[in-house]
Structure 1
Amino acid sequence: MTGGGLGLEEARAHLASQPFSVLLGARLVAFTPEQTVLEIDSRPDLLQQNGYLHGGLLAYAADNALTYAAGTALGPAVLTGGVTIEYLRPGRGRTLRATARVVHAGRRRAVCACDLEMIADDGSSRLCAVAQGTVLAVDGSR
């Protein structure tokens, strides 16, 4: 078990409790101390005017994957403190995959990194963005 006792099924239930994540069709496919993987299938309503996945979707995926990764070290009561993202190439493909890992964790803060790839119909992947974020443990009483 990870994330203060949360396993993959509990983390999936947590994600399913987020209306925006449900709207986007986000799903957790891995939730371990080594890596957290979040996927979103491409669809027409998630594209920008040139036919690529909207950059805001990539930023969302990075933010959520980073936060879930941090949760494996800090527990489930966490909030994003900040995220930076570098877009490398347009997001084209079948599925966006955000793979995050903890770089460093203390008692109240974790720094995480995330690779964002597009998965093609043939299963090949292509890196389209990288992100880094700081996630903070929060006191649930505030």
Structure 2
Amino acid sequence: MTALTLEDARTGLAAQPFSVLLGARVTAFGNGAATLELDIREDLLQQNGYLHGGVLAYAADNAITFAAGTTLGPSILTSGFSIDYLRPAKGIRLAAEAQVLYSGRRRATCRCELHVIGQDGATTLSAVAQGSVMTRNGPTA
């Protein structure tokens, strides 16, 4: 497999309509790690003014999958993940930083930390996630 680049990752993310809708961007990619960021907007908040948990879960899922892509290649799918919400996410930007913990020929396990960056630049750990990614077996329906 030829090593994928940050530009390859950005092209892959741009091909996901939901990621485009959220305004997500890949800011780091390679060597078993990936970072996905998005600006926190009012339309992504829940009723108490915090970033919606579904947005955090989306960011964890995609960051985990992109990190795994650095070792497994582009033809992959998330096989499962869990997330623990540690504290409410309130700020101006979300950064989901994922690292590969283990990678075999067809499967990788990754961990992701989700940090919120405040107006003052302070970073707060809001959630952690762990997930598995698998290579695809031929065409999907």
The root-mean-square deviation of aligned C-alpha atoms, in Å, is 1.2
Give the aligned partner of residue 21 of structure 1.
19
Cα distance in 2 for partners of 1:122, 1:140 equals 48
Match of 2:59 among 58, 61, 78: 61
Alignment partner for residue 68 of structure 2, among 67, 70, 76? 70
Partner of 2:31: 33
Asked if the contact 1:12/1:28 (under 8 Å) is kept, the reply is yes
TM-score w.r.t. the length of structure 1 is 0.95
Secondary structure of residue in 2 paired with 1:96: strand
Q: Which residue of 2 aligns with 1:91?
A: 89
Instruction: Answer yes or no: is 1:132 the counterpart of 2:130.
Output: yes
Report the CA distance between 1:45 and its aligned residue. Answer: 0.4
| 1:6 Cα deviation after fit | 1.6
Amino acid at match of 1:96: L
Measure how far apart 1:35 and its partner are: 2.0
Report % sequence identity. Answer: 59
- Distance of 2:9 and 2:41 partners within structure 1: 24
The corresponding residue for 2:77 is 79
Q: Does 1:103 align with 2:91?
A: no
Instruction: Report how many aligned residue pairs link the two structures.
Output: 140
2:42 paired residue number: 44
Offset, 1:61: 0.1
